[in-house]
Amino acid sequence: MVAAIELVHVTPENVENYGFCFYSDPKNERFQNKLEWFLNNYPLGLRYRVLYSNREKSIIGLLEYMPGKCSWRGIHAPDYMVIHCLMVKKEYSGQGWGSALIEHCVEDARESGFNGVAVISTKKTWCADNRVYLKNGFKVVEKTSPGLELVVKKIKKGAEPSFGKLEEKMAPYKKGVFMFYSQQCPFMSEGERLYGRQVELQKSFAVESRVLKIENFQEAQANPCAWGTYGIVANGSVINYIPGGYKGFLKGLKKKKIISDETKKTQGRDGSGY
């Protein structure tokens, strides 16, 4: 008898049957971006699991994780499995599916000889907050801006994961605006949005900025934003770890005194700046 909901191990052979992060159309640009990233990282130990409803013929949850040595988070955790993403559809929340996925990762880490499991969490947005991890035996071991927490469950003795030397990571980005992105998350994989902001900053505020694509796990771990796969940095401070809206983006730059209402270029009658 087929289970109503089953845990599927997604591989290069069956990936097009399940998609990524609820993107299932192979023609979708975000799907293709994620697929390329998935195929490049699968040989490095990437695990991608989905909860599949045979009744609804759809995915109701997902889990992505990989060995910390090659993870795409800005943490030092070589002896841990690192969770990138945990998602359960809203209509299935509160039914224990998130905990089931976490336990699957913990058991995989134990069987593979790792010291435990680590994950970056936040109470803000875009990922599961720490409550689901804390009730499954995880503990907060470190915090950094903007509102990111390193949450860990130890299986055996060993050094704890850490955010590493954040000041050293930030040193090259002390002056200016830097926008990082990668193909790891399909919701953040389109650099066009950031290039558009780059053009707008120059046009409206005469502010130069740089858009930097993260190409591998080494660059992700060296990202001054601990989230690893994304980040907006202004004058040596992380102002966001996700794309966010344009108004929020400008608000963050104003807070760091990169721009102000007074510095905005005057617009001519034809709408062009001068």
Instruction: Give the DSSP letter string of the chain.
Output: ---SEEEEEE-TTTHHHH-BTTB--TTSHHHHHHHHHHHHHGGGT-EEEEEEETTTTEEEEEEEEEEGGG-SSSSB-TTEEEEEEEEE-GGGTTSSHHHHHHHHHHHHHHHTT-SEEEEEEESSSSS--THHHHTTT-EEEEEETTTEEEEEEESSSSPPPB---HHHHHGGGSSSEEEEE-SSSTTS--THHHHHHHHHHHHHH---EEEEE--SHHHHHH-SSTTSS-EEEETTEEEESS---HHHHHHHHHHTTS--GGGSPPBPTTS-B-
Domain count, the chain: 2
Q: Give the residue carrying structure tokens 């929340």.
A: 93
89 and 175 belong to one structural domain: no
147 and 248 belong to one structural domain: no
Give the residue-averaged pLDDT of 3-32.
Answer: 86
Strands 116-122 and 80-88: parallel
Is 272 part of a structural domain of the chain?
A: no
Give the side-chain half-sphere CA count within 13 A for 46: 22
59 and 140 belong to one structural domain: yes
Is 218 part of a structural domain of the chain?
A: yes
Is 270 part of a structural domain of the chain?
A: no
Alpha-carbon separation of residue 126 from 52, 198, 204 (angstroms): 22, 23, 29
Rounded to the nearest 5 degrees, what angle is found at the Cα of 65, between the Cα atoms of 153 and 51? Answer: 105
Identify which of 96, 86, 37 has the alpha carbon closest to the alpha carbon of residue 63.
86
Start-to-end CA span in the chain (Å): 70
Give the residue-averaged pLDDT of 158-166.
Answer: 94
Domain that holds residue 198: 166-263
Residue 191's pLDDT band (cuts 50, 70, 90): confident
203 and 227 belong to one structural domain: yes
Is 269 part of a structural domain of the chain?
A: no
Q: Give the residue carrying structure tokens 């007074």.
A: 262
106 and 175 belong to one structural domain: no
Select from 127, 154, 181 the last residue of a domain: 154
| Residue 268, pLDDT score | 34
Hey, which residues does 142 pair with through a beta bridge? 150
Select from 107, 133, 154 the last residue of a domain: 154
134 and 209 belong to one structural domain: no
In this structure, of 5-14, 180-189, 207-216, the range with the lowest mean pLDDT score is: 180-189
14 and 80 belong to one structural domain: yes
| Residue 27, pLDDT score | 82
Predicted TM-score (pTM) of the model is 0.91
119 and 9 belong to one structural domain: yes
Is 161 part of a structural domain of the chain?
A: no
pLDDT in tens, 104-149: 999 999 999 999 999 999 887 767 778 999 999 999 999 998 889 9
10 and 138 belong to one structural domain: yes
